[in-house]
Amino acid sequence: MVMSTNHVPRETIRRYYRVDRREIAFLRFVFEAYEGLAIIETLNPESGDIVFYIAPGCESDVDMILRDLKSDIMLEAANFELNNFD
């Protein structure tokens, strides 16, 4: 399921990742528990391409959570832009 980003403020910081597609729901659940920290959008569910929309000033918190999660799930930074998925 691809979510609309119409509700994402322009001030957010975008970070792109590739994850094991089976872990997308888990990641979404984790970040929903940290309300207001970041929103995750699935760009390509087959390949596990996602984007984090991070609230300004929350980058270090997101980084800390992702560092902890990397020991349990495949998570790698990706070099693509949202435009590639239009």
pLDDT at site 8: 61
Which fold would CATH assign to domain 13-81?
Alpha-Beta Plaits (3.30.70)
User: Which stretches does DSSP call E strand in the chain?
Assistant: 13-19, 38-44, 49-54, 75-77
Residue 47: CB atoms within 10 Å:
11
Query: What is the pLDDT, as a whole number, of residue 81?
Result: 61
* Alpha-carbon distances of 38 from 1, 14, 46, rounded to whole Å: 18, 10, 22
pLDDT tens per residue, range 20-77: 999 999 999 999 999 999 999 999 999 999 999 999 999 999 999 999 999 999 999 9
Q: Which two tokens stand for residue 65?
A: 């959570």
Residue with token string 């699935």: 42
Residue 31: how many other CB atoms lie within 10 Å? 19
